[in-house]
């Protein structure tokens, strides 16, 4: 039991939290690409993506492993994004620091989602049973390229100072 929930219930809660983080993050990035501040979506993204990392720690297997390293990295990036957004109000270098750390945090969540999808969904397991096969590698490469593009374009397009003066 974790937090009074069965392992299965806690795992389902973790998955729901992750999906909320991913969906809200995609909306937030869409806003940045259109130079729109979406404070509610941003708050949901930051909170649920942090919760995704936090709720991943009590899941087995235990010890320091790649999922926990990703969780720690995500929390560090999210801390920088939260400081940039809420403490420094995206001023100066904090604008691009926020954009980069938020987009990388979302990417890490999607990266893990793809891993889990190939592990848990039978129709994807057929294509990449060991996650070293070309369909898995190509999928992860496409996700990385997509988020690199999102990050690059968001840094160029998201100018909240221009929004405030308009």
Mean pLDDT value of segment 98-109? 98
Whether 61 maps to a domain, the answer reads yes
Q: Is residue 102 part of a domain?
A: yes
Task: Using pLDDT thresholds of 50, 70 and 90, give the confidence band for residue 151.
Answer: very high
**pLDDT more than 90, % of the chain:** 80
Residue 88 lies in a domain: yes
Please state the rounded mean pLDDT for residues 23-46: 97
Helices assigned H by DSSP within the chain: 7-33, 39-56, 66-82, 93-120, 122-125, 134-157, 160-165
Q: Do the domain assignments include residue 1?
A: no
Structural domain includes residue 116 = yes
pLDDT of residue 164: 56
Q: pLDDT-based confidence at 5, cuts 50/70/90?
A: confident
**pTM of structure:** 0.92
**Segment 39-93, tens digit of pLDDT:** 999 999 999 999 999 999 888 777 888 889 999 999 999 999 999 999 999 999 9
Helices 39-56 and 66-82 pack at an angle, to 10 degrees, of 150
Residue 2 lies in a domain: no
In this structure, is residue 122 part of a structural domain? yes
pLDDT reported for residue 70: 95
- Whole-number Cα distances in Å, 3 to 9, 13, 18: 10, 11, 18
Of 104, 89, 95, nearest to 49 (Cα)?
A: 104
Residue 32 domain-assigned (yes or no): yes
Task: Give the C-alpha separation, 146 to 82, whole Å.
Answer: 23
Which conformational region is residue 91 in: left (phi greater than 0), alpha (psi within -120 to 50 degrees), or beta? beta
Domain tally, the chain: 1
Average pLDDT of the chain is 93
Domain that holds residue 130: 7-165
């Amino acid at each position: 039991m974790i937090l009074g929930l069965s392992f299965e219930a806690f795992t389902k809660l973790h998955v729901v939290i992750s999906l909320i983080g991913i969906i809200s993050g995609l909306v937030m990035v869409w806003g940045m690409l259109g130079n729109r501040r979406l404070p509610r979506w941003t708050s949901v993204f930051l909170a649920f993506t942090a919760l995704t990392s936090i709720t991943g720690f009590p899941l087995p297997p235990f010890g320091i492993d790649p999922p926990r390293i990703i969780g720690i990295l995500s929390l560090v990036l999210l801390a920088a994004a939260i400081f940039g957004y809420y403490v420094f109000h995206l001023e100066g270098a904090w604008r691009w620091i926020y954009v980069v750390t938020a987009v990388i945090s979302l990417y890490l969540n999607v990266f893990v989602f793809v891993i889990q999808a190939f592990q848990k969904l039978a129709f994807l397991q057929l294509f990449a049973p060991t996650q070293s096969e070309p369909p898995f590698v190509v999928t992860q490469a496409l996700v990385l390229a997509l988020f690199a593009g999102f990050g690059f374009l968001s840094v160029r397009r998201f100018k909240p100072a221009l929004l405030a003066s308009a």
